[in-house]
Amino acid sequence: MSPAEYERLDALGMAELVAKGEVAPVELVDLAIAQIERLNPQLNAVVFSDYDGARDRARGNLPNGPFKGVPFLLKDILGDLEGWPTRNGSRLCLPLPMPFTSTLVERFLAGGLVPIGKTNVPEFGLVGTTESKLYGPAKNPWGAEHSTGGSSGGSGAAVASGMVPVAHANDGGGSIRIPASCNGLIGLKPTRARNPLGPMLGDVMGGIVAEHVVSRSVRDTAAMLDVTAGPAPGDPYSAPAAPANWLAASQQPCPRLRIGFARTRPGGGSPLDPQAVAAVEHAARLCEDLGHHVEEASPPVTSEALFEPFIAIWASGAAMQIDGICQMTGQNPGPDNLEGLTRGLYEIGKATSAPQLWGAIFQLQQMARSVAAWHANFDIWLTPTLGAPPPRNGTFVLDSEDVETGFGAMTDYVPFTAIQNATGQPAINVPLWWTPEGLPMGTQFVGRVGEEALLLQLATQLETAQPWFDRRPAL
C-alpha cells in the first residue's frame, strides 16, 4: 500500500483490507509511523511514541474487532496505557509509566486498534487551544500559524493531516468539538456516561467530562461507539439505552427534524465573527434543503449564567488533581511546574467551599432541566461550534493567573460547547464550512440526552449531501 492509498482510507476501510488479507496490520503501522515522522516536525501533534511496541502488537494476535490492525493515537489525558506515561501536558506530571490501563483504552485494544503514541494537549486540558509549556504548540495542518483547538488539539492535527484515521479525544468544555472544528473533522461528544472512565474514576468534575474520538468519517465515529460504549461495573450512573448497533443505527434514514439554530451568542453579547455566522447559516440552509424544518431559536441559557458555576467545578476539580499529584510525587505547585492560568484556577479551586461547589452543581442541573424542556419542541439545536475561525497560536494569554480575563477571552471564542458538558447532552461537530483563507469552521448539532443515533443519522445525511472526506490540507 502506498502512502497516498493509506491517506484515502478511513479506519473501517483499513480494517476491511486487513480482514480480507490485502494488507497486514504491521504494514499499516509502518505507514502511520512514516506519516508521523514526515509530518510531526511541522505539526507537533505527537508527543510520545512507542514504535517498537506498536509493531510488536501489530505482529501479534490482535483481537478480531471492527478496527483490527488500525493504527491509533491516545490522548495524553485519560489515555492511560500500562507502561506508557500520562503527563497531562504538565511539567508537574513526571514521565513515569502508568501502572494500569484505563477501561476505555482496554476497549480500544479489544476493538483491534494498535496504539502508536500519544497526542499533544494543553496543561490538564483546561483551555481550548493546545500550547503547553511542556510540549509547545501544536500546529494546524490547514495553516501552521493557527491553533489546532484544544484540548484534543494534537489528536485533531494528527487525524486531519493523515497520520492516523482516528484518534482518542475527550471533552470537558468542548475539547472534542473544538479541535474537530479547527481541523475539519467529525467530533462527537457522547451523552454523559455513554463511555466509561474507570477503573480509577467514576466521573470527572460532576459528569462534565466525556470520552470519545475525532475522525474523518461519520461511520468511524459511529462504529467506535460499538467498541467503547456501555457502563462498566461500579460506574456511578449510566447513559440511556443504546441501539443494538451504533453503526447500523447511524445509517438508517434520518427522519424529518425540527431544528432551532443560533447565529448570536447564548444570551446576547458581542457579535459572532462573520465566518461563524456564515457557517451556521449555510448549515441551516442545507438542513432546510434536506427537508428539515429550520427556524431561529435557542434554549434559555446564557454564557454569563454558565460561567461562574462552571469555573467553580472546573477549578475545584483541577485543584483536587494537582493536590493528588503533589501528594504522590512530593512536589509543591508553583511557577516552575504549573502555567499561570492553571495556578489561578488552582487558587480558585482551593478557595471554593463544599457548599459553593454543590451550589454550582445544582445550578448546572437546573440549566439541564430548562434546556431539556426547550427540546420538547426541537429535536436539534444548531450552532456555530466556535465564535470565530481558528486563531493564531499565541492569541490567548495562558501564563497569567487572572482567570477572569484568561477564561473570559476563551469563553468569547468558545461560547456554545460548554453548555452540553453542563447538561450532559450529546453534540457533534460537522465540517461543512471553510473560510476564504482555507481554515475549517465547523457547525455543532446538539441532541437530546441519549439521542446520539439521531445526531449520527443527520451527520450521515449531511456527509452524503456535502462530502468532505477528500478535502485535505496540502502538506
In tens, the pLDDT along 53-89 reads 999 999 999 999 999 999 999 999 999 999 999 999 9
pLDDT at 267 over 90: no
Residue 283 contacts residue 396 (beta carbons within 8 Å): no
pLDDT digits (tens, 9 = 90+) for 387-409: 999 999 999 999 999 998 888 89
Of 174, 182, 227, 211, the residue nearest 12 (C-alpha): 227
Choosing from 102, 132, 147, 151, the catalytic residue is: 151
**pLDDT for the residue numbered 407:** 87
**pLDDT for the residue numbered 408:** 86
3-state secondary structure of 116: strand
- Rounded mean pLDDT of the chain? 97
**pLDDT for the residue numbered 396:** 96
CA 84 to the chain's CA centroid: 21
**pLDDT for the residue numbered 51:** 98
pLDDT digits (tens, 9 = 90+) for 442-463: 999 999 999 999 999 999 999 9
pLDDT digits (tens, 9 = 90+) for 115-168: 999 999 999 999 999 999 999 999 999 999 999 999 999 999 999 999 999 999
Strand 136-137 and strand 166-171: the pairing is unpaired
Choosing from 175, 181, 298, 303, the catalytic residue is: 175
Active-site residue flag, 68:
no
pLDDT digits (tens, 9 = 90+) for 205-224: 999 999 999 999 999 999 99
- Which bin fits 412, alpha (ψ -120 to 50), beta or left (φ > 0)? alpha
The share of the chain scoring above pLDDT 90, in percent, equals 97
Active-site residue flag, 20:
no
**pLDDT for the residue numbered 269:** 83
How far is Cα 139 from Cα 156, in angstroms, rounded to an integer?
Answer: 10
3-state secondary structure of 243: coil
The share of the chain scoring above pLDDT 70, in percent, equals 100
How far is Cα 156 from Cα 173, in angstroms, rounded to an integer?
Answer: 16
Of 6, 431, 454, 471, the residue nearest 179 (C-alpha): 431
Choosing from 68, 75, 118, 189, the catalytic residue is: 75
**pTM of structure:** 0.98
The cell for 196 is 466509561
pLDDT digits (tens, 9 = 90+) for 317-373: 999 999 999 999 999 999 999 999 999 999 999 999 999 999 999 999 999 999 999
Active-site residue flag, 151:
yes
**pLDDT for the residue numbered 128:** 97
